[in-house]
Amino acid sequence: MPTYLVGGFVRDLILNRPNKDIDFVCVGSGIELATEVAAALELPPPVVFRNFGTAMLKTGEFELEFVGARKESYRADSRKPWVEDGTLEEDQQRRDFTINAMAISLQAQGFGDLIDPFGGIGHLRKKVIQTPLDPVITFSDDPLRMMRAIRFANQLDFDIEPETFAAIISQAERIRIVSAERVIDELNKIILCPVPSYGFKLLFHSGLLRHFFPELVALHGVEYVDNHAHKDNFFHTLQVLDNVAKVSDDLWLRWAAILHDIAKPATKRFSPQHGWTFHGHEDRGARMVPGIFRRLKLPLNEHMHFVQKLVRLHLRPIALVKKEVTDSAVRRLLFEAGDSVDALMILCRADITSKNHERVGRYLRNFDLVEHKMTEVEEKDRVRNFQPPVTGDEIIRLYNIPPGRIIGDLKDEIKEAILEGVIRNDREEALRFLADIAAKKGLILSSNPYE
C-alpha cells in the first residue's frame, strides 16, 4: 500500500535535527502495515490502538508510528477515535503547520520524492510557521496548535506568518478548552528553549498567556508616581529567565526564575520617602508557588519545594554582598539553602539586570567574594547538609528526661551556636556546649547514661 514518511521526522530530516519518532502514513490500514513491517524486521508484533487506527513499533532507539491517511484533523495525542479514511493530501492538509505537513514517498517508484503541497520546504527556508489551511480552521481543529506555533517558532528560531499570528490573537481564548496537561507540556518545551523569552513574548502579545498564567501577565507594566517609575517586572523576569537559560538546562531552576518576583504586584507600595517597594515579595511569592503549580498541573513534589525555596531565598545572596560578608551570615545561607545553594547563586547572578554596567560588574565581583567565602566556610563547618552533632535520643539518655519540647529547644540552641560561630560544628564542642546550657536549665547529668 502507498506509504510515506510524514510530519516532524521529515521536517527534522531536512533541518538536520535529530528525531527518534518516525511517523509513517499509508493509504490503507496503518495497523496492517505495522504488522507486516514487524514481521519483515523480525520484531515483536506492534502495539495497536485500534480505536485510533494507529500502531507502534520500537526498534533500537527509534519509535515507529503507523497511521492510515485520514480526512479529519490529525493530532498525535488525540483521544478522539478516527472516523474516515482519506487521501494523502487530505491527511496533509489537516496537519498543524506546512513544515509539519510534508511527506516523503517510500514507493518503489519515486522513492524519496518530497510531497509538499503547502510549500513547507519554502517555509523552512524562510523560517516561518504557517498553517496549511486558513489558520482559523487549523486552530479550531485543535486550539493547542496556537501554543505549538509559538513553541516551534521558539525552538527553531522562526517567525510566525502574520495571518497565522492574527488568528492566534483572535482565537486565543479557545486555549481555555484545552487540558492543563497539554498546555503545560508545550509551555515547558518553550521554557527549555535556548532563548525562552522569545516564546513568552509571543505568548504575551498573542493574548494566550493571560488565559492560563495571569500571575505572570500581572507583572507587566510600569507605574509612575511623582515621576518615580519602577521597572517592568514582566520583561525583567524574562531577562532573568534568559540569563539562567544561558548557564543551566534545569527546568526547575528556570521555573524559579519565572516565579522569583511573582508576588511583586501583590506587595507593591509607593511612599515618598522610599519610592517603590516590594517588601516581603519573596515570602509571599514562595507561598504562591503551590497554588500556581497545582493549577498548571506541575508536579507537587520535591521540584515544587526546590522552586519555592529559591523564590523564598532569592534576595539573600544579594543582601550578603551589599553588607560586609560575615561567616555567620554565610553559614545561615548555606544551612537554609542546603543542596540548592549553587542553583540559588545562579538565580541570583541572573537577577542582576541593571542597565548600569559598572554596577552589574561590581555586584558580580562581590558575588565571587561571597562564593569564595561559602567554599571556605563550608569546608570548615559543613553546614550545607547540616546534621545535628548531638541527637535528641542522646540528650534524653544523657539527662534521663522524657521526650518533650525541651529536647528540641536544646538542639536548636546548639544549632544556633554553630551558625553564629560560638562553637564549631564538632561533636566534642557541641557536647561541652550542651553541658553548659543544660546546667543553666537545671538539668542533671544521668549517672549512667549508656545503661
Where do contacts with ligand CTP occur on this chain (CB under 6 A)?
7-8, 21, 23, 74-76, 95-96, 100-101, 142, 144-145, 148
Nearer to ligand CTP, 54 or 237 (CB): 54
Tell the burial category of 26 from Cβ atoms under 10 Å away from its Cβ (0-12, 13-18, 19+): buried
Q: Which is nearer to ligand CTP, 72 or 159 (CB)?
A: 72
* CA within 13 Å, CB half, 381: 31
Closest CB 102 distance from ligand CTP, rounded Å:
9
Distances (CA, A) of 413 to 88, 332, 333, 410: 75, 14, 18, 5
Closest separation between CB of residue 125 and ligand CTP, Å? Answer: 18
Asked whether the beta carbons of 8 and 23 are under 8 A apart, the reply is yes
Find the shortest distance in angstroms from Cβ 258 to ligand CTP.
21
Closest CB to ligand CTP among residues 87, 385: 87
**65 vs 282, which CB is nearer to ligand CTP?**
65
**Least distance (Å) between residue 124 CB and ligand CTP:** 13
Give min distance, CB of 183 to ligand CTP, in A. 12
In angstroms, what is the minimal distance from the CB of 33 to ligand CTP?
17
Find cell 509551555 and name the residue. 187
Choice between 101 and 311, CB closer to ligand CTP: 101
User: Which of 114, 115, 202 has the alpha carbon at shortest distance from 155?
Assistant: 202
Which C-beta is closer to ligand CTP: that of 195 or that of 401?
A: 195
CA separation (Å) from 212 to 185, 252, 389, 447? Answer: 13, 19, 47, 65
Least spacing, CB of residue 97 vs ligand CTP, in Å: 7
State the virtual CA torsion across 229, 231, 232, 233 in degrees, nearest 10: -130
C-beta of 130 vs 340, nearer to ligand CTP: 130
Contact indicator for 140, 174 with CB cutoff of 8 Å = yes
Gap between the Cα atoms of 418 and 428, Å rounded: 12
Give the nearest distance from C-beta 96 to ligand CTP in angstroms. 4
Q: Which residue number, 154 or 425, has a Cβ lying nearer to ligand CTP?
A: 154
DSSP string covering 172-204, please?
A: GGGGGGS-HHHHHHHHHHHHTSSSHHHHHHHHH
Q: How many CB atoms lie under 10 A from the CB of residue 130?
A: 24
- Rg over alpha carbons for the chain, rounded to the nearest Å, is 29
Residue with the shortest CB distance to ligand CTP: 8
Report DSSP letters for 354-399, one per residue: -S-HHHHHHHHHHHHHHHHHHHHHHHHH--TT---SS-HHHHHHHH
What are the cell numbers at 108?
518503489
Q: Provide, rounded to whole angstroms, the least separation between the CB of residue 302 and ligand CTP.
A: 27
Output 2 or 408, the one with its CB closest to ligand CTP: 2
